[in-house]
Amino acid sequence: MNRVVVTRPVVGICFMQVCAESDATDEEILEVCNSENPSGTTHGWGEVVREFQEGHMFLTPQMCPVQCKDDPKRSHFMVMC
């Protein structure tokens, strides 16, 4: 399996979900997102959600990374455009 895999190409208006090795960098994740599932926005996919940001208009605590149920060495990350 690739280090980063798109699992949900569309989540709401400006998010997508990936399953990635837990040590994958933001750069690795964003490179896969922008090449395999372009967002269609000017700046493309630009941020990997690593923690809840109080006061952010679109983020909720449920969007924080979670361990993959199929592989404990992987996590599911939300990505924002």
> What are the sequence ranges of the domains in the chain?
4-80
34-52 pLDDT tens trace: 999 999 888 999 999 987 6
pTM of the model: 0.88
**How far apart are alpha carbons 81 and 72 in whole angstroms?**
27
Measured CA distances, 12 to 8, 25, 30 (Å): 10, 24, 18
| Res 64: pLDDT | 87
Which residue from 13, 8, 14, 12 is spatially nearest to 77, judged by alpha carbons? 8
β-pair type (4-11, 15-21): antiparallel
